[in-house]
Amino acid sequence: MAGSKSCEVRDLVVAGGDGPHPGIGVPVPGGGRPLIITEDPLLLDDLLRLCAAAGVEPHVHHAVPEQSGAGGDGGGGSAPGAGWESAPLILVGDDAARHARGAPRRDGVFLVGRDLDDPHVWQRALEIGAEEVLTLPDAESRLVDRIADVVEGAGMPALAVGVIGGSGGAGASTLACALALRAARAGERTILIDGDPLGGGMDVLLGGEAAEGLRWPDFAGSRGRVGAGALAESLPELHALRVLSWDRGDRVVVPPAAMRSVVAAARRRGGVVVVDLPRRVDEAVAEVLAQLDLVLMVVHGELRAVAAAGRVAAGVRMAARDVRVVVRGRVPGGLDAEAVAALLGAPLAGEVPVEVGLPGRVAEGEPPGSHGRGPLARFCDGFWQRALGSAQGVVTA
C-alpha cells in the first residue's frame, strides 16, 4: 500500500463469503430471451404479461424445441437461442411438464402453475429438473425479477459500501465522494447515491448541480423493479461516475419501497455502489442499510465524537450486516484509532487525516479525492485495492 501509516487501511474481508468480494447472489446467464413451454392459453397470457413487465419478448413453444432448425414458435424447429440448452431461462407450464421429461438437465428451469394444493406438482418438477415451483399469482413479482435478470444479463452484484458520520462534521460525505471518484478512476463501474436529503447534494460536491439527469424526487413513485441499465443512463454522469442526488426542491422524503427498488437496481448493475448515509436511521434508510455489504462510520478521534457515534452505531447495527470505523483526523490529546474502534465495539477499517487545503480546492470545483497523491485519495485507493481484491494496484493519477 502506498502512503504513510496516517492513511492506513486495515485488511478487509467483506461479509458474506471467504474472498475479498464474494458478492451476494450467484451470476445468472444473461443476454437472451426466455423460453416458455405451455399449451394453456390462460397461463400463456399471464406469462407473456410478466415478460412484458420485464421488458422482453419470449420464445413460445408447446413442447421442448429442437436445439437447431429453421422453424418458428410453437413448432418443431426453433429460432436461434430458443432451444432447451441455449435459452437463458425456461418457464415450463405445469400443463406441459410431461413434454419436458427426458430433456437434458440444466440450470434455469422453473415449473409454473396455479394450483397451490396439487400434491404431485413437486414430483413433476423433480422429473424435469426444475429449480423451483412458482405458483401464480403469488410468485408473480419473483418471476418478473428472474426474467428481468435475464434481460439485463445480471451477473455479480456491485460491492455496496455505505458511509455515515458518527457525529456532525465528521466528513462522511467527503469520504463517500472520494471513494466513488477513486473507484471510477480505477475503472470500476460506479454509482454514487446521496442518501441524505439534508446534506446539500452530492452533485454539488462534484460540481454538477446543473448537470442533466434524474434526481431522487423523480424516483419517489417507484414501487416494483427498476431496470439497472435504465437507472444508470437516467442519472447525471460526473467525473466518469453516475450520481443519484437530491434536487433543490422541498421534497426530502422518498418512500422506503422506492429506496429499496433504486438501490437494488444500482447493485444489479455491478461494479461499485457508494451510498452517503444520514445519521438518523428511519425506515427508508433501513432499507438501504439492509442491501449494503459494508458500512464505514467516520469518527473524529475525541471522546465527545465517539460518544455521539455510539448512538449512531446502535441504530445502524439494527439493519447493517457489517459496520467498521474510519478515524478521521487526530485531535491533540485525543484518542488513537485503535481506542476509538474499541470504544465503539467495531473493527477499525483505517485512519485518514484531514487533508490540508481540501475545502478550498472543493470550493474551486475540485471534488474530494481528485488529488491523487493526497492522503484522502491514497486511503480510498488502498481501501478498494483490499475490498475488491483488485490486481490493478493503487491509482495515483
What tens digit of pLDDT does each residue of 139-155 get? Answer: 998 898 888 877 776 56
Report which of residues 118 and 125 the model is more confident about.
Answer: 125
Q: Which pLDDT does position 155 carry in this prediction?
A: 67
d(CA 277, CA 84): 45
Does residue 4 have a pLDDT over 90?
A: no
Residues 225-262 as b/e (b if ≥16 CB within 10 A, e otherwise) read: bbbbeebbebbbebbebbbbbbeeeeeeebbebbbbbb
d(CA 4, CA 350): 12
**Residues 6+ positions from 240 with CB-CB distance below 8 Å:** 184, 185, 190
State the average pLDDT over residues 116-144: 91
d(CA 89, CA 344): 47
Q: Which pLDDT does position 39 carry in this prediction?
A: 95
Q: pLDDT digits over 297-356, tens only?
A: 999 988 999 999 999 999 999 999 899 999 987 777 778 999 999 999 999 999 988 777
Q: Which pLDDT does position 220 carry in this prediction?
A: 84
d(CA 149, CA 128): 22
Q: Please provide the average confidence, as pLDDT, over all residues in the chain.
A: 83
Q: Which pLDDT does position 325 carry in this prediction?
A: 97
**Residues 6+ positions from 104 with CB-CB distance below 8 Å:** 84, 85
Does residue 395 have a pLDDT over 70?
A: no
Q: Strands across the sheet with 35-37, in order?
A: 59-61, 35-37, 90-93, 109-113, 132-135
Q: Which pLDDT does position 110 carry in this prediction?
A: 95
Q: Which pLDDT does position 54 carry in this prediction?
A: 80
Q: Which pLDDT does position 69 carry in this prediction?
A: 40
Q: pLDDT digits over 163-211, tens only?
A: 999 998 889 999 999 999 999 999 999 999 999 988 878 988 898 888 9
State the average pLDDT over residues 231-252: 89
d(CA 112, CA 96): 10
To the nearest whole percent, how much of the chain has pLDDT over 70?
85
State the average pLDDT over residues 155-159: 83
Report how far Cα 66 is from the mean position of its chain's Cα atoms. Answer: 37
Does residue 282 have a pLDDT over 80?
A: yes
Does residue 16 have a pLDDT over 60?
A: no
Tallying the residues shown for the chain, one arrives at 397
Q: Which pLDDT does position 22 carry in this prediction?
A: 35
Helix (H/G/I), strand (E/B), else coil: 219: helix
Does residue 286 have a pLDDT over 90?
A: yes
Answer whether 236's CB lies under 8 Å from 212's CB.
yes
Q: pLDDT digits over 81-103, tens only?
A: 578 988 989 999 999 999 999 99
